[in-house]
Amino acid sequence: MYDRYERMRYEAALVALFEESKGVKEEGEQNRGPEIDRYKALAHSPKSANHDWCGFFVFFCYAKAADKFSAPLPFTSGVLWSGPKLKTWAEKNPVHTVSDGTFLPGDIYVMTWGHIGMVISHSGGDMVNTVDGNQSSLGKGKSLKQNVRNRNDMAVIIRITDTGGLGSPAKY
């Protein structure tokens, strides 16, 4: 039987795929566009701020999934404002880090250079299928897109679970 966090992770991955299927891309100013502004608003980033939006997109997907299953998130939107912040959160909440080489839909990762994304599927080995925001598209601005990432380029992998008592405050 699935617990609500397994369902929530899977739902977050479905939200990511749905958003990617809409062809979300930057429009006008860098790091802006109607959908991107929605992600930023939910993460409490001012529209006028020129923040990279990869983590805001992941937070958006998880917030939608958490609402559906009435499940609390173990992090605030600010944790996903940058890869270094998310890595620090993971260090303080090691129960949510994955170190055994398995990947599940909805796992969140931080690349060694700080980019944040979401796992969609894994068929074994070091390669993982992902959906990422704020990604270059051959000189056409940044967009949401599916990627294949190498696990060896990931600094940390996070899996939201009920382990560790999400009813209590997470460490920030």
Domain boundaries, the chain: 4-158
Q: What is the DSSP letter of 94?
A: G
| AA letter at 15 | V
Residue 84 DSSP label: H
Residue 10 bridge partners (DSSP): none
Lateral strand order in the sheet of 127-136: 142-150, 127-136, 116-121, 108-111, 154-158
Q: Are 86 and 112 in contact (CB under 8 A)?
A: no
pLDDT at 131: 96
For residue 128, what is the enclosing H or E element? strand 127-136
Which residue positions in the chain have pLDDT lower than 50?
Answer: 1, 165-172
pLDDT digits (tens, 9 = 90+) for 96-116: 999 888 899 999 999 999 999
pTM, two decimal places? 0.88
pLDDT, residue 26, reads 85
Cα 151 to Cα 139: distance, rounded to the nearest angstrom:
26
pLDDT for 139 equals 52
